[in-house]
Amino acid sequence: MKGSTEFSTWAALAFGAIAIAICALYSSSLFVLIPVGLVGGYLGYWAERIGRYYLERYLSQKHLR
């Protein structure tokens, strides 16, 4: 299973947007929203990579049985 950089990008953007939306409920300062969006994007990219790794591992183990 090969990774798709397009999907990784969309996952990062989605997590960033979700983080900004949640943070916007409490603060409207750009000095808060911009770092939250960047951290959310990084966490989204990281979560997608970890999820892809475990899915690949699960599928390879299932294939051996």
Give pLDDT tens digits for 10-53. 888 888 899 899 998 888 888 988 899 999 999 988 988 898 89
Number of domains in the chain: 1
Confidence check: pLDDT of 1 > 60: no
Instruction: Give residue 58's domain range.
Output: 5-64
Distance (Å, rounded) from C-alpha 11 to C-alpha 21? 15
* CA–CA distances in Å: residue 38 to residues 2, 25, 35, 44, 56: 26, 17, 5, 10, 27
